Chains A and B, each alone.
Chain A
Amino acid sequence: MKLFKLRGGVHPQGRKELASERAIRVLPMPDRLFIPLQQHVGAPAQPLVKVGDHVLKGQLIAASQGFISAPVHASTSGRIVAIGDYAAAHSSGLAAPTVTIASDGDDRWLETDSPSDPFSLSPEEIAARVGAAGIVGLGGATFPSAVKLSLSRKNNVRTLIINGGECEPYITCDDRLMRERASDIIEGVRLIRHAVGAVDVMVGIEENKPAALLAMRAAASGTEVKVIAVPAMYPMGWDKQMIRALTGCEVPADGRSADIGVLVHNVATAYAVHEAVRFGRPLVSRLVTVSGGAVAEPGNLVVPIGTLVETLFQYCGGFSEKPARLVLGGPMMGSELFSAAVPVVKGTSGVLALTAREIGSTQAAPCIRCSSCVRACPVGLLPLEMAAHIRAGNSNAAVSRGLKDCIACGCCSFVCPSHIPLVHYFNFAKGELMEQERGKLKLEATKKLADERMARTQRIEREREAAAAKRKAAREAKEAAAKLTQTITEAA
């Protein structure tokens, strides 16, 4: 198949060999699971259980709130021991509402009904089951999948793209999943296709995963699913990049992929859809890559949602040397973890323990305008100019140069010979803009309240004046009448 030309991108050292040849292993059930209520884009889920309740694996423990949200399920059977704040998997290290389950060791599933033929379900029913299973985008975006399914159906999506890019270095969980669960993924893909009514289905897999390509091609033969090798480069897994590579179309800057008739889902999401629709199993575990130069035995583990990151490292033999940095996700876009005592969430594709040599960063030096960042940017931005404006405290000038189109992929910082933390500048400016916008909203709200108060007092004042005038008029009329009576009396 003809592939379309892409812009920018970099070729970081893959380091995937650390974990790519390690078969999937199931992590033994930990004693305690810490399940955050917000593991997705949108409103946090609302807890339905109380401390002391006994729950079964797969039982709903928090319901989705509003249109864009996702429910949360118990990852094992056991007792709810706490509902409250617990450190979240975020570089801030701040706490977030979390349900803590003490495992009873039985790992007993909740009995659910599952259809004998999932393809006999209506598209709406599939979307409903995907939504009820708490499935979110497992590539890392964690957008509720059911919302995407129903939006796509409304927008008459014709092309379904399944993203097997996995371009982040070190991360191999999608690779392993495609090698070992290819037929399940393909069935999930076909279910998604059925749910949105797409015509073309393409699975894009980076050509540096030949075993995954082979397995997926074998599983897809005889179906309407086309498996296509795409060039290995970062950020191939950016959904819009995958769309451009496979269709040649670009998603409008102000729109969504559905606007050009395309829906993109990750391979792991397709697998989760299969599990949910075929077996009625909600998303209670996911495949996580544990890797990095400091990990003794890197690997790919099936991990119950809510397992602490430190448990994963322990299971992988601990550290062979002291890690310089713990990273949640891949090295290009992942965030630093200050503590490994935070839970794995639905969007966790990997946890890394990197050595100082692997990070390889030095002190930032002045920009020499080499424009490596311009060549590397997959979006077509001018990172050096944007960063210069942000440094000068002029975030708005950076916006006019496309700051809002920045996807924070890190290509610019990666190639910068001066080691300037460009993405850091951009994220700072985005935060500042958000602050500004919030301030503006607040100001508007205050102004509105003040205006209303003014209008109210004015109205009261007017009413009071009107009443006074009325009283005065009445008094005058009365006086006039009295005078008249007097005159008449006098005259009489």
Chain B
Amino acid sequence: MNPIAHSPHAHAPITVSRVMLLVMLALTPATLFGFWLYGWPAINVWVVSLLAALAGETLILRLQQRAIRPVLMDGSGILTAWLLALSLPPLAPWWIAVLGSFFAVIISKQLYGGLGQNPFNPAMAARVMLLISFPVEMTTWATPAPLGSTGAASWLDSLAVTFVGAHVDGMSSATLLGHVKTEFTRGIELQQALSGYYAPLDALWGHRGGSLGETAALLLLAGGVFLIYKKIITWHAPVAMLLGVVVPALFFSSINPAHYAGPLYHLLSGGLMLGAFFIITDPVTSPNTATGQFIFGLGCGLLTWIIRTWGGYPEGVAFAVMLMNAATPIIDHYVRPRIYGRNRRGVSMSIEPAKKES
């Protein structure tokens, strides 16, 4: 006999793989911009990351003797690798991408029990691992050399960069955040450090040195708005994270503009936009309730600003996200929706006849 089909006998037209596909769609403009801006090496890094994630997931599932096909088809591994690739330097060698993807899907995800079980965002965990273990490779940034321009690496050159570790002259530069941090250590003031290095309009479009897909602030913002419109994510965490950066930046820069950068500088630098709309909205590692997500986002933003401003690393998004991931269970423990007919502590409302004027 058939098992009893349980109500509801209707379902919203949504699946996990559709969610993942929509997120990938939202990432596509910023990714294509990264491909264009940094040329073939960037494409290589992206392709290698995705292939490595598929291979790594196949390997671990085989070892665990679990069904491979449904896991690969849900798209979560590919999305993780995609996000990781966007946070890597475009000139990264192939093994950085492979190691990162393997770490993300095998150690950060499948060893915890697979999709939905990991406490830390796999892409950010992999990025932090790479940054700590291979600081040189992870901070060698490319000067923008758009495809088709004279400075762009040809496809064959790019293979040498990615797979042989060839160094191309004039291709590397520092990121804005890295540059400012270095200048600070030399005792140079902010305005001076920024001059000639920071053009807000370029930063808005993303025409600057940086990670593969983190620089195009506007395109990332558009992708995020698309996801909010599609009801895949809500505004709470992203808006809170941006506020968490903007509010202290505004406050401190108005007190001491010589040392503290303003909000626009922070908004348009590093991985903030990618983090706010695509990383901290990862449902698995963020709280369940709207209020919880707001607190989570605010924490991510504040920690990012603190690490950027006072920490040893120029960029803090990945660290901030992991720290707040660790706080997710406790946020979920304390922040719960109020149940109908009960107060916030879960006690039933008093059974008093309603006092209503007639």
Nearest CB of B to A200, in Å: 8
A452 at interface (Cβ–Cβ under 8 A)? Answer: no
Using known A-B contacts A156-B353, A374-B288, determine if residue A368 contacts B116 with beta carbons closer than 8 Å: yes
Contact of A255 among B117, B346, B348 (CB under 8 A): B348
With both beta carbons as reference points, the residue of chain A lying nearest to B336 in the complex is identified as: A382
Are A261 and B115 touching (Cβ within 8 A)? no
Instruction: Kindly supply a per-residue 1/0 record for chain A positions 383-423, scoring 1 wherever the CB is within 8 Å of any chain B CB and 0 otherwise.
Output: 01100000000000000001001001010011101110101
Chain A residues 246 to 303 lying within 8 A of chain B, measured CB to CB, are: 249-255, 259-262
Instruction: Identify the closest chain A residue to B286 (Cβ).
Output: A369
> Complex: how many Å from CA A418 to CA B5?
17
B351 CB within 8 Å of chain A: yes
Cβ–Cβ < 8 Å partners of B284 in chain A: 368-369
Distance (whole angstroms) from the CB of B344 to the closest CB of chain A: 10
Determine the chain A residues whose CB is within 8 A of the CB of B283 once the complex forms.
Answer: 368-371
Find out whether the CB atom of A249 lies under 8 angstroms from the CB atom of B340: no
B18 touching A417 by the CB < 8 A rule?
A: yes
Q: How far is the CB of B104 from chain A (nearest CB, A)?
A: 16
B16 touching A260 by the CB < 8 A rule? no
Given the complex, which residues of A lie within 8 Å of B9, measured CB to CB?
A: 325, 327, 331-332, 334, 336, 352, 354, 358-359
Interface size in chain A (residues, C-beta < 8 A): 73
Residues of B within 8 Å of A156, CB to CB, are 353
Q: How far, in whole Å, are A377 and B232 apart by their CA atoms in the complex?
A: 17
8 Å CB interface, B163-219 against A: none
Closest to B284 in A: A369
Q: Determine which of A159, A252, A354, A371 lies in contact with B289 in the assembled complex, contact meaning CB atoms within 8 Å.
A: A371
Nearest residue, chain B, Cβ from A406: B339
Partner of A414, one of B4, B5, B11: B11
Shortest B13–chain A CB gap in Å is 7
B74 CB within 8 Å of chain A: yes
| B15 interface residue per 8 A CB criterion | yes
Docked pose: A169 CA to B283 CA in angstroms: 30
A253-B341, A385-B288 given as contacts; is B11 within 8 A of A259 (CB)?
no
B10 an interface residue at 8 Å Cβ cutoff? yes
CA distance A240 to B74 in the complex (A): 38
Compute how far the CA of A463 lies from the CA of B12 in the bound complex, rounded to whole angstroms: 74
Which of A331, A360, A380 interacts with B7 by CB under 8 Å? A331
Q: Quote the shortest CB–CB distance from A256 to chain B (angstroms).
A: 9
Q: For the complex, is A427 an interface residue (Cβ under 8 Å from B)?
A: yes
Given contacts A252-B351, A365-B74, A369-B284, A158 and B16 within 8 Å (CB-CB) = no
Given known A366-B116, A368-B116, A379-B339, contact A374–B349 (CB-CB < 8 A): no
Rounded to whole angstroms, the CA-CA distance of A252 and B342 in the bound complex is 6
The docked-state distance in angstroms from the alpha carbon of A112 to that of B76 is 69
Q: What string of 1s and 0s marks CB contacts (under 8 Å) between B285-323 and chain A?
A: 010111000000000000000000000000000000000
Given the contacts A369-B288, A415-B14, A410 and B340 also touching, CB distance less than 8 Å: no
Q: Tally inter-chain residue pairs, CB-CB below 8 A.
A: 176
Contacts of A421 in B (CB 8 A): 6
Known A331-B9, A379-B340, A417-B14; judge A259-B351 contact (CB<8 A): yes
Beta-carbon contact of A333 and B11 below 8 Å: no
* B11, A371: Cβ atoms closer than 8 Å: no
> How far does the Cβ of A84 sit from chain B's closest Cβ, in whole Å?
24
CA–CA, A32 to B183, complex, Å?
93
Across-interface contacts of B337 in A (CB, < 8 A): 7, 374, 377, 380-382
Q: At the interface, yes or no: A140 with Cβ under 8 Å from chain B?
A: no
**Residues of chain A with a CB closer than 8 A to B4's CB:** 91, 336
Q: Are A402 and B7 in contact (CB under 8 A)?
A: no
Alpha-carbon separation in the docked complex, A91 to B7 (Å): 11
A259 proximity list for chain B (CB < 8 A): 351-353
Most A Cβ at <10 Å: residue of B4, B5, B115, B350:
B5
Q: Does B8 touch A at the CB level, under 8 Å?
A: yes
Is A362 located at the chain interface by the 8 A CB criterion? yes
Please name all residues of chain B whose beta carbon is closer than 8 Å to the beta carbon of A26 when the two chains form the complex: none
| Chain A min CB distance to B177 (Å) | 31
**Cα of A290 to Cα of B198 in the assembled complex, Å:** 68
Assembly CA distance A448 to B128 (angstroms): 64
Contact of B340 among A327, A333, A405, A418 (CB under 8 A): A405
Q: Which of B68-122 contact A (CB under 8 A)?
A: 70, 74, 76, 114-117
Instruction: Take A156-B353, A384-B288 as given contacts and tell me if A413 and B340 are in contact as well, using a CB distance cutoff of 8 Å.
Output: no
Chain B residues with CB under 8 Å of A427's CB are 6
Contact: B340 with A380, CB < 8 Å? yes
Considering the complex, which residues of chain A in the window 408-458 have a beta carbon less than 8 Å from any beta carbon of chain B?
A: 408, 410, 413-415, 417-419, 421, 423-424, 427
A-B contact pairs, 13 of them (CB 8 A): A12-B10, A158-B356, A252-B351, A254-B341, A255-B349, A255-B351, A354-B9, A365-B70, A366-B16, A402-B339, A405-B341, A413-B6, A414-B8
Beyond contacts A331-B7, A414-B12: 9 other A-B pairs, Cβ-Cβ < 8 A, are A252-B342, A252-B351, A253-B339, A333-B8, A359-B5, A368-B283, A385-B288, A408-B7, A414-B8
Q: Shortest 3 CB-CB distances between A and B: which pairs?
A: A410-B8, A253-B341, A254-B348
